[in-house]
């Protein structure tokens, strides 16, 4: 999840779904407010730990932090050096995730195509938005954290891409690099508020309308495929905080069009292999999980 969250366009929520921990994650986060009030404040710390699935959350958070710390530079390098292969791999992951999430529905009814289509349209529209430019004040950092974390736990919507759209991706990374504890604290505070409130709401929605919510989430992932399409034409550029020119707005193009625009090979064979690798990881993981569930 940490590695995915570093990349604008790839959702940590999708990885949670792939690995089969999504519903457990929502349940653990959703239990925090009630457990904090009824158990933690009354000194029942062991009960609080059990109610919020503390061991699971700590292990997950540790994995995310370690991944961000160790893989952020590697992923950034891969995006610059092997962009087509990496985006193709993510494309395969998400395609397999669409099949995986839709398979979690209890009943497949024709009318569920309506929320699937709506979710896809919303996610597709989000991926076409240009990166914004805002004045990053204290409240902006707080609200950006709340919005980004909500997107981060939704399969198909990337928290880092939401930050990019808001114009806060660079400022947040700069605050982390410069160890600006005040701004980092505001951002994390927004993340905490957004996470606790939205996870509880999403968990409630899944309990009340399971198939409907999964249909919308499936649509989100379908729409997000536009953002991870390997061949993109840059139609506008911006200058980042380091003075480098980076893409501001991109549109998906065919491999042949990409080769014409850039003068570089489209690497279609590489892309196909990477897509198949992404598909294989999800499908093999699901097969292994199924075997373990059957044996237990």
Domain boundaries, the chain: 2-295
Give me the pLDDT at residue 133, please. Answer: 57
Question: Can you spell out the DSSP letters for 254-291?
Answer: -HHHHHHHHSS---HHHHHHHHHHHHHHHHHHHHHHHH
pLDDT in tens, 202-250: 888 888 888 998 898 888 888 888 888 999 888 877 665 566 666 667 7
Strands 245-252 and 232-239: antiparallel
Torsion of CA 271, 275, 276, 282, to 10 degrees: 160
pLDDT in tens, 42-75: 889 999 999 999 999 999 989 888 887 777 677 7
Q: Which structure tokens are listed for 157?
A: 């919507």
pLDDT in tens, 116-146: 999 899 888 877 776 655 566 788 889 888 8
Q: Mean pLDDT, to the nearest integer, of 166-195?
A: 83
Sign of torsion over alpha carbons 155, 158, 162, 163: positive
First to last CA, the chain: 27
């Amino acid at each position: 999840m940490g590695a995915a969250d570093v990349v604008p366009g790839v959702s940590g929520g999708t990885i949670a779904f792939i690995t089969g921990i999504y519903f457990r994650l929502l349940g653990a986060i959703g239990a925090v407010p009630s457990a904090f009030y009824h158990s933690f404040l009354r000194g029942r710390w062991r009960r609080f730990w059990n109610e919020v699935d503390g061991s699971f959350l700590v292990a997950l958070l540790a994995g995310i932090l370690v991944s961000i710390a160790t893989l952020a530079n590697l992923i950034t390098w891969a995006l610059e050096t092997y962009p087509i292969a990496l985006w193709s791999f993510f494309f395969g992951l998400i395609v397999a995730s669409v099949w995986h999430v839709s398979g979690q529905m209890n009943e497949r009814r024709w009318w569920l195509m309506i929320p699937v289509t709506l979710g896809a349209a919303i996610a597709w529209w989000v991926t076409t938005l240009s990166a914004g430019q805002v004045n990053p004040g204290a409240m902006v950092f707080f609200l950006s954290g709340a919005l980004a974390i909500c997107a981060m736990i939704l399969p198909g919507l990337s928290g880092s891409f939401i930050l990019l759209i808001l114009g806060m991706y660079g400022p947040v990374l700069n605050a982390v690099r410069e160890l600006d504890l005040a701004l980092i604290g505001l951002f994390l505070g927004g993340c905490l508020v957004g996470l606790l409130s939205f996870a509880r709401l999403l968990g409630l929605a899944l309990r009340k309308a399971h198939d409907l919510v999964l249909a919308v989430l499936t649509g989100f992932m379908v729409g997000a495929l536009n953002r991870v399409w390997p061949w993109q034409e840059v139609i506008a550029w911006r200058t980042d905080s380091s003075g480098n020119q980076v893409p501001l707005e991109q549109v998906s193009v065919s491999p042949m069009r990409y080769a014409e625009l850039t003068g570089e090979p489209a690497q279609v064979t590489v892309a196909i292999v990477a897509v198949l690798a992404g598909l294989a990881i999800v499908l093999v993981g699901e097969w292994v999980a199924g075997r373990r569930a059957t044996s237990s």
